[in-house]
Amino acid sequence: MTQTALVVDDNRETADGIVKMLSLIGFQARPVYSPRLAIETMSKGLPHLLVLDVHMQGVDGGEVIRFIRRDPQLAPVPILAVSSDTQDAIVSGIMAAGADAFLPKPVEFDDLETTVARIINR
């Protein structure tokens, strides 16, 4: 069975790039460009992985993660948070909110492959 991934980023170029990288490691990935659309999509069928940009316009990524973790249907999905903001306080806050892993942007293929393997096969 092919593993699925949802990539959430309001920057279409970034989202599409991560989708391409995930497809190279065997995922059927699709981009969505807003957290609201991601949650609607997930409520219709859970992906095996959620890649979430934590800094989208007008959206607190930590709040999105906490919302997902509070919902019993959505909570099991592994979350890989990504951001160009790598300050310790930001990263620790995102991890405390419930992310399974964090990668800095721009996301490097090798880092993505290693991190995804670690959080999917936990």
Its domain, for residue 47, covers: 3-56+69-84+94-115
Q: CATH number for the domain including 108?
A: 3.40.50.2300
End-to-end Cα spacing for the chain: 18
Is residue 120 domain-resident? no
Total-model pTM: 0.96
Is residue 99 domain-resident? yes
Is residue 38 domain-resident? yes
Q: How far apart are CA 11 and CA 44, in angstroms?
A: 24
Band of the pLDDT at 59, cuts 50, 70, 90?
confident
Is residue 26 domain-resident? yes
> Which residues have C-beta within 8 Å of that of residue 94, sequence separation ≥ 6?
54, 61, 62, 65, 81, 83, 102
Is residue 64 domain-resident? no
Task: Give the tens place of pLDDT for each residue, 76-102.
Answer: 999 999 999 999 999 999 999 999 999
State how many domains the chain has: 1
